[in-house]
Structure 1
Amino acid sequence: MQNRVGRGLLVLSAVLALLMAGPVTTASAETIQTGTSVCSMYVNSIGFGAYCSNGPAYVPNSHIVPPPPPPPTWRERLGGKPFIPCRDFDIPGGIRLPKAPDGKKWVMRITITDYKLDTYDGGDAAHLERAYVPVSPEEEAQCPFPDYMAPFWHEFRSSYPPPALVVMPTFTPRVNVPAFFSLTAESSKVEADPNKDPGAYSGYINPTHNLSMRGLVVEMTVDPGDGTKPFRCPMGVTPADDPSGYDETQDPFHQINTCKHTYLRSSANQPDGMYTVKLTITWEVSYWVGKDAGGWDPIGKANVTAVQRLPVQEVEAIGG
């Protein structure tokens, strides 16, 4: 459908300003259990990730006679050492907190609760609790992290890619001709194939228990900068190989894509001769467990705001 000529593509990482708008909160899924892991996930306007308390991979093999023994219990893995149920992490990017009290610093403290040491995965009731707390050196020492506790924890995270805006049918919109807006596929999705690359954004457990996460842009609100009202554009509704949804075999007045705006005046009188376009990009983050889990389950959404300078010419002829 779409001609792949680069004249309609503007990679915004060079000219786009990513802006944080106000305090950022996190949207978290309920703690889930997968294989030998208990995991807690988060999403915010910086990115997404997960913290897991996990056991070793256990891959039974029916071709081995006798079959391998079940994985050891948490108590057996400790070998007589004390189990330390809490661990302090840095505050995830995007979380804004007030200044910590004197002599203290903010940490994200995650605690494994309702666990049973005589199970290989902490038991069915095991879950993770998250808290942002200011700690003194003495309070920080309450949650030490010795080397032998490392196998019980796994962390992964990802940030969103720089937005790359596509403006069609030309890089510079024309007065009285619809301009169509979209994002490239590469800048509107963060996803690893859990069957091919399980470690990229995931906690790999075994072939049937593999927590993976992905982020997709599901909506973009465009303020065109000419004094008209912002408009919303649903995203992810066009084929992956044609994310702009623009049919170059048709003229701009006969397109299916509804993410469009018609400028009635040129940008000649604007600062630097360009309109300031404001974008609000909505990411939805989901998780996937195992090969036969039935698809992705959403966790929550987060907005990323950006601005783009866009020239509009007083030329009605469509050209490249």
Structure 2
Amino acid sequence: MHNRVGRGLVILGAVLALLMAGPVSAASAGDTIQTGTSVCSMYVNSIGFGAYCSNGAAYIPNGSNKPPPTWRERLAGRPFVPCRDFDIPDGIRLPKAPDGKKWVMRITITDYNLDTYDGGDKAHLERAYVPVGPVEEAQCPFPNYMEPFWHPFKSNYPPPALVVMPTFTPRVNVPAFFSLTAQSSKAGADKDDPGALSGYIDPNHNLTMRGQVAAMTVDPGDGTKPFKCLMGVTTEDDPDGYDETQDPFHQINTCKHIYERSSATQPDGMYTVKLTITWEVFYWVGKDQGGWHSIGKANVTAVQRLPVQEVQAIGG
């Protein structure tokens, strides 16, 4: 099986317009975790995903048996500021802020113990969207010495690249198969670049995040009902799940649609195909931690203009 990209690949560009769906909540189930010596708060929405971790700069052992410094020792007499204001993550829509104020995402470390090297077992993060002016900003300053206690990182989803097989222009009464390229079906860490979205915590733990397309719902635009296709990361030798050694009527792939009429009477001679792409985001916190854990899903919508020809023959 092999995808001949020149025949079946439609990259986002002039014909595919990406439209963001209404945002899901940034707070997902299981979004606050203890990872080695850090506590991390994670989010996933229709734009992307990421994490905000306390104690982000890990203590690096110097080869001695000396225990790592506690938070109090690292502060060296300076006050601990438990909160930090971040920009609102992309994909979150809020009403207009009151005059003279702006919206921020305020992350606060709570239930911490300064006499531990990682904040203690009860430490966790609380997240809130709050409008702030000069007075509120002064309540949550961020001096330089607090920088080592935080580590934010984020990733956006790649632009979807739609594959239509067996030809870019579907034929009437011949099944058209839909998929996404492997590169546009995943984000964050992968086998080729495991550190793509990974935060160093200590010598034994990294918080690593990745997203992958779990499903794609296709509204073919010809008045028939939308259909849902379960998705997954494909192998390199079979990136689109289409077997070119078989004809379109003998395929295992079920993500298909048969157009019964050409698009000649449609605006610009093309059907408007609507895609709803469901991303699922996972995290992993190092060895012996139970593998990858899902933190939630989010939908991204896209619109594809697709010509369909009244030609029965199959070919490029």
Assess same fold via TM > 0.5.
Answer: yes
Decide whether the 8 Å contact of 2:50 with 2:155 is kept in 1.
Answer: yes
**Cα distance change, pair 132–39 in 1 and its aligned pair in 2 (3 A):** same
Provide the residue aligned with 1:226 in structure 2. 222
Tell whether 2:140 aligns with 1:143.
yes
Match of 1:10 in 2: 10
In the alignment, structure 1 segments of 5+ residues that lack a partner are none
Where 1:133 maps in the other structure, the secondary structure is strand
Q: Is the 8 A contact 1:54 1:121 kept in 2?
A: yes
Q: Is the 8 A contact 2:2 2:239 kept in 1?
A: no
Q: Distance in 2 between matches of 1:33 and 1:295?
A: 15
Q: Distance in 2 between matches of 1:194 and 1:231?
A: 31
Native 8 Å contact 2:155 2:188 kept in 1: no
Cα deviation, residue 240, structure 1: 4.8
Whether the aligned pair in 1 keeps the contact of 2:229 and 2:255 (CA below 8 Å) is yes
Gaps of 5+ in 2: none
In the TM superposition, residue 239 of structure 1 has moved relative to its aligned partner by 3.1
SS at match of 1:30: strand
Q: Which residue of 1 aligns with 2:252?
A: 256
Structure 2 match to 1:45 = 46
Asked whether 1:175 is paired with 2:172, we answer: yes
Note if contact 1:55-1:121 (Cα within 8 Å) is conserved in structure 2: no
Given the alignment, which residue of 130, 134, 145 partners 1:133? 130
8 Å CA contact retained: 2:31, 2:43: no
Aligned residues: 315
Name 2:155's counterpart in structure 1.
Answer: 158
Please list, as runs of the form range in 1=range in 2, the aligned pairs for 1:301-316 lying within 5 A after superposition. 301-316=297-312
Aligned to 2:197: 201
| Pairing of 1:1-320 with structure 2 (within 5 A) | 1-28=1-28, 29-54=30-55, 56-58=57-59, 64=63, 67-193=64-190, 197-198=194-195, 200-236=196-232, 238-320=234-316
CA distance in structure 1 between the aligned counterparts of 2:192 and 2:117, rounded to whole angstroms? 25
Distance 1:6-1:294 versus aligned 2 partners, 3 A rule: farther
* In 1: Cα distance, 2:19 partner to 2:160 partner: 12
- TM superposition score normalised by structure 2: 0.95
The separation in 1 between residues aligned to 2:78 and 2:94, in whole angstroms, is 36
- Structure 2 SS opposite 1:12: coil
Take 1:195 and 1:259, find their aligned partners in 2: how far apart are those partners?
Answer: 28
Cα 1:55–1:282, aligned 2, differ >3 Å: closer, same or farther? Answer: closer
- Cα separation, partners in 2 of 1:271 and 1:134, compared to 1, 3 Å: same
Q: Mark the CA change 1:6 to 1:264 in structure 2 (over 3 Å): closer, same or farther.
A: same
Query: 1: CA distance between counterparts of 2:307 and 2:281?
Result: 33
Q: Which amino acid aligns with 1:162?
A: P
Q: Helix, strand or coil: the match of 2:136?
A: helix
Larger CA deviation: 230-239 vs 272-281:
230-239
The answer (yes or no) to whether the contact 1:56–1:71 under 8 Å persists in 2 is no
* Residue aligned with 1:143, SS: coil
Q: What is the alpha-carbon distance in structure 1 between the residues aligned to residue 68 and residue 263 of structure 2? A: 67
In the aligned structure 2, how far is the partner of 1:126 from the partner of 1:109?
A: 16
Percentage identity across aligned positions?
83
- Following superposition, the deviation at residue 12 of structure 1 comes to 1.7
